[in-house]
Homo-oligomer: A and B are copies of this chain.
Amino acid sequence: MSDGGTGIEALISLISRLPGLGPRSARRVVLMLLKKRTTLMAPLAQALSVVAQSARDCTLCGNISTDDMCDICTNTQRRSSGEICVVEDVADLWAMERGMAFQGCYHILGGTLSPLDGIGPEDLRIPDLVVRVEAGDIREVILALSATVDGQTTAHYVAESLEASQVRVTSLAQGVPIGGELDYLDDGTIKAALRARRPLF
Please report A residues at the B interface, Cβ cutoff 8 Å. 1-8, 10-11, 14-15, 17-21, 25, 27-29, 31-34, 37-38, 40-52, 54-55, 63-67, 70-72, 90-91, 94, 97-98, 100
Q: How far is the CB of A106 from chain B (nearest CB, A)?
A: 11
| Closest CB pairs A-B (n = 5) | A45-B48, A45-B49, A5-B66, A1-B97, A41-B52
B14 x A43 contact (CB < 8 A): yes
How many copies make up the complex?
A: 2
- Contact yes or no, A50 B7, CB < 8 A: yes
A42 x B32 contact (CB < 8 A): no
23 contacts between A and B (CB under 8 A): A2-B70, A4-B63, A4-B64, A4-B71, A5-B67, A7-B54, A7-B66, A8-B64, A8-B65, A11-B51, A14-B43, A14-B44, A17-B40, A20-B25, A28-B91, A34-B51, A34-B90, A37-B52, A41-B52, A44-B48, A45-B45, A45-B46, A45-B49
